[in-house]
Amino acid sequence: MKTRIIPKRISAFFIFVLLTACATGGDTYRDQNMDFGSVQTIAVMPFVSLARDNIAAERVRDVFINKLLSTGAVYVLPVGEVARAVARAEIANPSAPSPEEIIKLAGIVKVQAVITGSLREYGEVRSGTSAANIISVSLQMIETQTGKIVWSASSTQGGISIWNRLFGGGGQPMNKITEKAVNDLIDKLFK
Amino acid sequence: MISSISFLNRVCVLLFASFLCLSGCTSTKEEVRREAHTRGVEFSIAIFPIENLSGTMAPLKEIERSLTNRLNTRGFHVLEEEALEKFMARNRVRYTGGIDQPMAQALRKETGAEGVLITSLELYSDSNPPKIALTSRLVSTGDDPVILWIEGVGFAGDDSPGILGLGLIEDPRALLEKALEMLAGSLGEYLDKKTEREDLKHLGKKFRPKASYRSDILDTDRKYTVAILPFVNRSARKNAGEVMLLHFVRSMKKLEDLDVIEPGVVRQQLLALRMIIEEGPSLANADALFAILNADLILTGKIMDYQDYQGTYGSARVDFSAQLIERKSRRVVFSSVSHNEGDDGVILFDWGRVNTAHAMASQMTQLIGKMILEDSKRVQGTKGSSGQAK
């Protein structure tokens, strides 16, 4: 009797292990009531940088704006126009504006959504003798009518892989993983 | 036997006669100079002091003198240094990286010069291998300063090492002379033919932007006037914004459908409007510039990295983004992000390696110019930004 139960338990365990591979990261939030098709123009606010590199946030924002424009799905305001609107709306911290500030900003530049972001990691990471480049970005989309967050996602690319640990190599160039992370976020936005 | 000797004699006589005839076609150096003089005398050029954008010490006076000598040798009428100095003192000219309208009018009126040669030194390194990068442009004087000709050169001593390093240039003077000879030759060619369009077929695909957007608002059949603003400099390299501006001026000037406004004129208007562009122009700034410059497009951008390396080991690096704003629609009609390193795509023996940021940026900006005028509805970006909404 015992011999029959054990294989069942083992197979149930293996099925559970295999099913975990189908799980998603769960790092994306989408407001189910939001009509994303109504978003025609977006303002991308300056990203906040939690990394050591001071201009990294600006670099990632630039790549993100270009990639978003190149999808052809939405129009992104020029950064100079966003800076002017931020100054006119007197937003103290443009990387993390309050809902009231966003509504005020939308009145100036006529956008349907605002994207804010933070760069959590950018540059080289080390573990023992291995080193590789890493990037970690998280973004939020805020609807300008209500000031509510309607989409949020994050992406981490690069880092030390098993290959790096075994054979070295230093990982991928920073620009390459930045593009990968931005493409990943855009894929999540349009999913 | 006799007949073969007489045949040889005849051949010798014929060769001698043809040699005599051909010697009649040669002319002395003096004659060449006179011929060149009569050719270039109609166009008088003032050579402005070299603008140093390299951020390092460089023999500017020597470069200026060498360039003047080369143009004199080719027979062009160059305004005397003393006359130019007097003009500059009288008119309080301090900026030599461009020319604005009042200055162009005064230069024509007071000195009679029909064009002004503005040269910017982008890179000068005399350590082995030496490196040099220069951009030179000829701007007309008078009521409407227009860029007539523009050319840039970027050389490193180890660009073509050849077999056993026989092609290496270790003397910075030799490299400088090579660069100036190329510039003077190109200018001479322009003044002879009055045409300059560059073949864009030889540009490496690896220098294409990594992501780009082109709106179909841009009409490929129309001729646009474009004002190029200095790029916002976020790199460690001094004057990289102005250097990038010159690259774009050169690339856009080569395109038939774009008229580029002289950067000196744009600078004067920015000063007149007291406009400081920290992140890029706002639409209100763009409107004011469109109106005052009578431009159809404004090109602006940000430079993140512009790096040359010293010595033998290292890699040049260029990283920038560019945006084009259109007057009528008040929208961004072209946007791109580009980054490359000198050893991109190099697999064996440094084949295809680019040793100066100038040479690389030149190709990158020319490809962007080409893409702006491309007839395709949208230029495809890299994987993940396929140009279609998902």
Domain coordinates of chain B in residue numbers? 33-193, 205-372
Using an 8 Å CB-CB cutoff, list chain B residues near A78. Answer: 280-283, 323, 325, 332
Q: How confident is the model at residue B159 (pLDDT cuts 50, 70, 90)?
A: confident
Q: Across the interface, which of A67, A180, A191 has its CB nearest the CB of B211? A: A67
* pLDDT for residue B233 is more than 70: yes
pLDDT above 70 covers what percent of chain B? Answer: 83
> What secondary structure does DSSP assign to A13-71, as a single string?
HHHHHHHHTT------EE-TT--GGG--EEEEPPPEE-SS-SSHHHHHHHHHHHHHHHH
- Domain B205-372, CATH among 3.40.50.620, 3.40.50.720, 3.40.50.2300, 3.40.50.10610: 3.40.50.10610
Interface of A with B (CB under 8 A): 55, 58-59, 62-63, 65-67, 69-73, 75-76, 78-81, 83-84, 175, 179-180, 182-184, 186-187, 190-191
* pLDDT for residue A60 is more than 90: yes
- In chain B, the N- to C-terminal Cα span, in Å, equals 90
Cα–Cα distance, B200 to B374 (Å, whole number): 13
Q: Confirm if B135 and B246 have CB atoms less than 8 A apart.
A: yes
Q: How confident is the model at residue B390 (pLDDT cuts 50, 70, 90)?
A: very low
* pLDDT for residue B387 is more than 50: no
Number of C-beta neighbours around residue A6 at 10 A: 9
Rounded to an integer, the average pLDDT of B340-344 is 88
Which of A79, A122, A178, A188 would you mutate first to test chain B, the one with the most B CBs within 10 A?
Answer: A79
Using an 8 Å CB-CB cutoff, list chain B residues near A59. Answer: 234, 304, 319
Among chain A residues, CA nearest to B216: A72
Q: How far is CA B282 from CA B276, B289, B321, B324, in A?
A: 11, 11, 16, 12
Cα–Cα distance, B72 to B177 (Å, whole number): 15
Residue whose pair of structure tokens reads 């600006």 in the numeric block: A58
**Do B33-193 and B205-372 come out as alike in CATH topology?**
yes
Q: How confident is the model at residue B8 (pLDDT cuts 50, 70, 90)?
A: low
Look at residue A2 and tell me if it is in a domain: no
Q: Across the interface, which of B213, B285, B286 has its CB nearest the CB of A70? A: B213
Q: Tell me what percent of chain B is helix, strand and coil, each rounded to the nearest 5.
A: 40, 20, 40
**Residue bearing the bigger pLDDT, B381 or B325:** B325
Q: How confident is the model at residue A43 (pLDDT cuts 50, 70, 90)?
A: very high
> What average pLDDT does the structure give for chain A?
88
Nearest CA-CA partner of B39 in B146, B188, B142, B148: B188
Look at residue A113 and tell me if it is in a domain: yes
Whole-prediction pTM value? 0.84
Provide the pLDDT for residue B28: 43
ipTM over 0.95: no
Which of A40, A53, A55, A66 would you mutate first to test chain B, the one with the most B CBs within 10 A?
Answer: A66
Q: Confirm if A43 and A114 have CB atoms less than 8 A apart.
A: yes
Look at residue A137 and tell me if it is in a domain: yes
Domain coverage including residue A136: 30-190
Q: How confident is the model at residue B352 (pLDDT cuts 50, 70, 90)?
A: confident
**Contact yes or no for B283 and A81 at CB 8 A:** yes
Q: How many Cα atoms sit within 13 Å of B367 on the Cβ side?
A: 23
DSSP helix/strand/coil, B84: helix
Provide the pLDDT for residue B9: 64
Q: How many Cα atoms sit within 13 Å of B58 on the Cβ side?
A: 25
Interface of B with A (CB under 8 A): 210-213, 234, 277-286, 300, 302, 304, 319, 321, 323, 325, 331-332, 335-337, 339, 378-379, 381-390
Provide the pLDDT for residue A100: 93
Least confident of A5-14, A102-111, B298-307: A5-14
Q: How confident is the model at residue B20 (pLDDT cuts 50, 70, 90)?
A: low
Look at residue A4 and tell me if it is in a domain: no
* pLDDT for residue B93 is more than 70: yes
Look at residue A11 and tell me if it is in a domain: no
Residue count of chain B, please give it.
Answer: 390
pLDDT above 70 covers what percent of chain A? Answer: 91
**Contact yes or no for B335 and A70 at CB 8 A:** yes
Rounded to an integer, the average pLDDT of A38-60 is 92
Number of domains present in the structure of chain A: 1
Among chain B residues, CA nearest to A181: B384
Look at residue A78 and tell me if it is in a domain: yes
> What average pLDDT does the structure give for chain B?
85
Provide the pLDDT for residue B373: 81
Cβ pairs A/B, distance under 8 A: 107
Q: How confident is the model at residue A2 (pLDDT cuts 50, 70, 90)?
A: low
Interacting residues of B323 by C-beta distance below 8 A, sequence separation 6+: A78, B280, B299, B300, B301, B332, B334, B335
Provide the pLDDT for residue B383: 36
Least confident of A180-184, B1-5, B43-47, B157-161: B1-5
Nearest CA-CA partner of B247 in B151, B105, B103: B151
Residue A20, token pair as written in the block: 């975990």
Q: How confident is the model at residue B380 (pLDDT cuts 50, 70, 90)?
A: very low
Look at residue A12 and tell me if it is in a domain: no
Provide the pLDDT for residue A135: 95
Q: How confident is the model at residue B200 (pLDDT cuts 50, 70, 90)?
A: low
Provide the pLDDT for residue B264: 96
Cα–Cα distance, B67 to B78 (Å, whole number): 10
Residue B388, token pair as written in the block: 């279609």
Among chain A residues, CA nearest to B304: A59
Q: Across the interface, which of B210, B319, B379 has its CB nearest the CB of A179? A: B210
Q: How far is CA A121 from CA A60, A124, A135, B261, in A?
A: 11, 9, 5, 42
> For residue range B95-138, what is the model confidence (pLDDT) as tens digits?
999 999 999 999 999 999 999 999 999 999 998 899 999 999 99
- Domain B33-193, CATH among 3.40.50.150, 3.40.50.261, 3.30.750.24, 3.40.50.10610: 3.40.50.10610
Provide the pLDDT for residue B36: 46
* pLDDT for residue B40 is more than 70: no
CATH code of the domain covering residue A85: 3.40.50.10610
Provide the pLDDT for residue B343: 85
- In chain A, the N- to C-terminal Cα span, in Å, equals 50
Q: How confident is the model at residue B162 (pLDDT cuts 50, 70, 90)?
A: confident
* pLDDT for residue A80 is more than 70: yes
Cα–Cα distance, B49 to B46 (Å, whole number): 10
**Contact yes or no for A58 and B210 at CB 8 A:** no
* pLDDT for residue B12 is more than 80: no
* pLDDT for residue B377 is more than 60: no
> For residue range B262-292, what is the model confidence (pLDDT) as tens digits?
999 999 999 999 988 888 899 999 999 999 9
